Amino acid sequence: MNSRTLCLLTIIITYALLVLGGAVHNTNSSLACPDWPLCYGKLVPELKDGVKYMISHRVIASLVGLFTIVLSFMAYRKRNESYQDQKIYSYSLFALFLVIAQGLMGAITVTYKLPTIVSTAHLLTSLIFFSMLVYIHHLYQVGTSVQTSVDPEINLKSFARLRDLIFITFITIFFQILIGGLVRHSGAGLSCGAGLEQSFLCLDPVTKTYTLFPYMDQSALNMFHRGFAAVTLVMVVLTSFLSFNFLKLKHKSALILPVLLFIFTILQIKLGTLTIATSLGTVPTTLHLAVAIFCLTICWKLFLVWKTLENIYSPTPIHSFLSDLADLAKPKLSGLVMVTVFVGIILAPGSINVFKAMLLLFLIFLVVMGAATLNCYIERDVDKLMERTKNRTLATGRMSNALALSIGIGLLVVSLPAIAYFINLVTAILAAVAAFMYLLAYTPMKRKSEWAVYVGAIPGAIPPVMGWTGVTGQMDTMAWALFWILFVWQLPHFLAISIVHAKDYDAADIKVYPNVQGIPVTKRNIVLFTLILFIVSVTPFYFAGASKAYYYSAVVLSGVFFLYSLAGYFVQEGESALKIWARRYFLGSVFYLPLLLCAMMFLN
């Protein structure tokens, strides 16, 4: 079996797993097996009632995990054959990480009796993993298509706007599914009543009247899901119509995608109505999820087709205001920050209203985006000097400096007071400290001293603490433990990447350890900080009440990570192998942190 076929098979099985996961919830079988990974302490329990659904779900999940491991191994073996194969390998590693995280989230949903926010995060990770598999298969399917000159028949600005519309529609469908999951997991499915009469208006439990704007939180969430469905429908109609008109002139072979997207979205709306009319009947509710995921897949595939056409029509990426705005937000950095905030929310004792948690995540994202935008503004001249940043929005002049400055300041002006008002003052102060230390201390210091890495680690360590204080409203021992783990982790993480990009940093006159103090000192510090990270990683067990299971996990993860840092001593300075080791150490750090945080969440 070749890699492309295996990837397609993994997609099909994952789709079945997602639908079966919905069926597990719709049949109230989510806690049919109250323990994990066994069921009533048995590997093969008696298959009765909801146990058969739960066991089937776990078996298929294990199969998906196994196939993902094999897929990653096959990609690893071919990684050096071409740039495309290297790209596939990188994404397959990310898919492997996601499937591991997905398994751990599945475990905690059972262990902690289906907490709403974790169950919804479980669905979120599933959708990201599924989309990643579709992307990997697309890469296998299309190969490499590169144009050496611009196609004069194509209006590139119109093409870019349509590409952005397709992507926004994909995100809209994605969030509609996620909101639907939140409705199910929070028990809000019938909060507006059941029956055909309640399919469009909500029977408010408080006022006993039909309305679009009920008072109760669950009813409001239910109606928001329905209202967002109308927005989704409008986006799909526009996307289907415009992409169909483009494809019928240039690429008739892809016409099926917008047609299917439109047809199945209409079907999805009808199924949504049917779920209410049948009081969340198992069959229509499960089909509702199945069709929604299919619509998501079609829209994602349509976007990937557009990205492939972009490679054909233009030798360079076709930029738009939306893509430039996303570039300013530094999506990789922002994504990691939001994950650590979520970890802080989950770890915090007590409970948090799911709406408040979502608002907290949204407001912190605005802070992160604002700080990232202002960082790009401050470093716009520096970015021009580095190979990996010279194509950023402000470095190339695609967006005016004044507009970027206005966006960055505006986001901070709105988000920081909102956090203080809607969440609490402690979290707002932490967010302000993180943003302003990043902008006013770390950013200018990078061109003056290699010690900037220590200053930059402070705002980088605050996000999980904000998640914690967003729930508790105070700093305590675990909050400080989270801070120190993130603080120390960043030091060897950045030192490793500074080895890889030493020439780039030197060209921009950014002071980093390899260029100022030399490679031997840098390698020594990586080992030293990895050892300190080992020590700090077990402090939650000794001082913050973490479990022995977490302690053993931290020891194993940190021990392996420390041993790999020692391997750097056997790599000679000036060899290409040094960069390979540093890059692998950097990648290992990216895997290490989420796994450690997952152990902290799931093994307590």
pLDDT at 67: 93
The residue with greater pLDDT, 30 or 137, is: 137
Closest C-alpha among 201, 277, 316, 288 to residue 25: 288
Tokens of 117: 């926010």
CB 273 within 8 A of CB 287: no
Statement: residue 217 has pLDDT above 80: no
138 shares its domain with 172 = no
Among 312-321, 426-435, 552-561, the range scoring the smallest mean pLDDT is: 312-321
Is the separation of the CB atoms in 577 and 553 below 8 Å? no
Residue 171, φ and ψ in degrees, nearest 5: -65, -40
Q: What is the 3-state secondary structure (H, E, C) of 172-231?
A: HHHHHHHHHHHHHHCCCCCCCCCCHHHHCCEECCCCCCEECCCCCHHHHHHHHHHHHHHH
Mean pLDDT taken over the chain: 84
Instruction: Give the C-alpha separation, 266 to 467, whole Å.
Output: 39
Secondary structure of 110-130 in HEC code, one letter for each residue: HHCCCCHHHHHHHHHHHHHHH
pLDDT of residue 510: 85
pLDDT of residue 533: 94
Q: C-alpha angle with apex 276: 272 to 281, nearest 5 degrees?
A: 95
Of 23, 126, 3, 9, which Cα lies nearest the Cα of 63? 9
Helices assigned H by DSSP within 27-143: 51-77, 83-111, 116-142
pLDDT the model gives residue 262: 95
The closest alpha carbon to 61, from 93, 15, 94, belongs to 15
Dihedral sign, CA of 581, 586, 591, 595? positive
Domain boundary among 104, 124, 144: 144
Same domain, 246 and 140: no
Total domain count, the chain: 4
Higher pLDDT among residues 353 and 539, named by residue: 539
Q: Which of 427, 445, 463 is the last residue of a domain?
A: 445
Is residue 71 situated within a structural domain?
yes
Q: Give me the pLDDT at residue 297, please.
A: 96
Q: Looking at the predicted structure, is the pLDDT value of residue 165 above 50?
A: yes
**Residue at 323 is within a domain:** yes
* pLDDT for 215: 73
The pLDDT of residue 113 is 65
User: 148 pLDDT exceeds 50?
Assistant: no
Does residue 545 carry a pLDDT above 90? Answer: no
- Flag the least confident range among 94-103, 123-132, 239-248: 94-103
β-pairing, 210-211 with 202-203? antiparallel
Predicted local distance difference test score (pLDDT) of residue 40? 66
pLDDT confidence of residue 191: 78
At residue 489, the pLDDT reads: 94
Tell me the average pLDDT across 120-143. 88
Q: What is the mean pLDDT of residues 223-240?
A: 91
Contact 526, 453 (CB under 8 A): no
**Rg value, the chain, Cα:** 25
238 and 333 co-located in one domain: no
Confidence of residue 8 (pLDDT cuts 50, 70, 90): very high
Instruction: Give the 3-state DSSP-derived string for 519-584, with helices as H, strands as E and coil as C.
Output: HHHHHHHHHHHHHHHHHHHCHHHHHCCCCHHHHHHHHHHHHHHHHHHHHHHHCCCCCHHHHHHHHH
- Rounded Cα distance between 592 and 573, Å, is 25
Alpha-carbon distance of 342 to 466, in angstroms, equals 9
At residue 327, the pLDDT reads: 84
* Boundary residue ending a domain (315, 333, 366): 315
Can you count the helices (H) and strands (E) in the chain? 25, 2
* Residue 99 sits in the same domain as residue 172: no
- Mean pLDDT along residues 222-231: 87
Look at residue 574 in the predicted model and tell me its pLDDT.
60
Is the CB of residue 168 less than 8 Å from the CB of residue 231? no
Q: Say if residue 397 is in the same domain as residue 429.
A: yes
Percent of the chain with pLDDT over 90: 32
213: confidence class by pLDDT, cuts 50, 70, 90: confident
Mean predicted confidence (pLDDT) in 522-527 = 90
Q: Say if 112 falls within a structural domain.
A: yes
Same structural domain for residues 268 and 346?
A: no
Q: Do 303 and 325 have their domain in common?
A: no
Q: Are residues 186 and 247 in the same domain?
A: yes
Q: Are residues 53 and 181 in the same domain?
A: no
Q: Residue 179: pLDDT above 80?
A: yes
In a domain, 459, yes or no: no
**Which residues fall within 8 angstroms of residue 77, CB to CB, at 6 or more apart?**
none
Q: Is residue 292, in this structure, part of any structural domain at all?
A: yes
Q: Which of 21-30, 148-157, 176-185, 488-497 has the lowest mean pLDDT?
A: 148-157
What pLDDT is recorded for position 7? Answer: 92
Mean pLDDT score, 386-394? 81
* Spatial distance between the Cα atoms of 577 and 113, rounded to a whole number of angstroms: 48
| Res. 193: pLDDT tops 70 | yes
Residue 12: burial class (beta carbons within 10 Å; 0-12, 13-18, 19+): exposed
What is the three-class DSSP state of 39? strand
pTM of the shown model: 0.82
Same domain, 285 and 224: yes
pLDDT higher than threshold 80 for residue 187: no
Q: Which of 272-276, 445-449, 576-580 has the lowest mean pLDDT?
A: 576-580
User: What is the CATH number for 404?
Assistant: 1.10.357
pLDDT band at 143 (very low <50, low <70, confident <90, very high): low
Identify the band that residue 267 occupies on the pLDDT scale cut at 50, 70 and 90.
Answer: very high
Residue 166 has a pLDDT of 94
Q: Which amino acid is at 366?
A: L
How big is the CA angle at 170 (ends 140 and 180), to the nearest 5 degrees? 120
Which amino acid belongs to residue 352? Answer: I
Tell whether 451 is covered by a domain: no
CA 150 vs. chain centroid, Å, equals 33
Q: Cα(120)–Cα(132) distance, rounded to whole angstroms?
A: 18
pLDDT (mean) for 241-265 = 87
CA distances, 295 to each of 159, 250, 291 (Å) = 22, 23, 6
CB 490 within 8 A of CB 456: yes
pLDDT at residue 147 is higher than 60 = no
Task: Based on the fold, state whether residues 509 and 533 are members of the same structural domain.
Answer: yes
Most confident range (mean pLDDT) of 167-176, 371-380, 444-453, 536-545 is 167-176
Domain for residue 470, yes or no? no
Give residue-wise pLDDT tens across range 462-492: 999 999 999 888 888 888 999 999 999 999 9
Structural tokens at position 397: 């002049």
Which has the higher per-residue pLDDT, 8 or 570?
Answer: 8
Question: Which residues form the domain of 507?
Answer: 476-604
Are 164 and 304 found together in one domain?
A: yes
Say if 107 falls within a structural domain.
Answer: yes
pLDDT of residue 36: 67
DSSP 254: G
What are the tens digits of pLDDT across the range 404-456? 899 999 999 999 999 999 999 999 999 999 999 999 999 888 888 889 899 99
